[in-house]
Amino acid sequence: MDFDTIMEKAYEEYFEGLAEGEEALSFSEFKQALSSSAKSND
């Protein structure tokens, strides 16, 4: 699986796991949040 496919699957799982009425991040916001949190976990 390439990186984009993995990100799409992770986003789908995130989206399905949201509480009803909870506002979702856009896909680009989601990717940005993951990449910034990954960088801060050094």
Domains of the chain, by residue range, sit at 1-36
pLDDT tens per residue, range 1-42 = 898 899 999 999 998 999 888 898 999 999 898 888 777 765
* pLDDT at res. 37: 77
Q: What is the pTM of this model?
A: 0.64
Q: Is 16 exposed, middle or buried (0-12, 13-18, 19+ CB in 10 A)?
A: exposed
Provide the phi-psi class of 39: left if phi over 0, else alpha when psi is between -120 and 50, else beta: alpha
Closest by CA to 15, choosing from 7, 6, 24, is 24
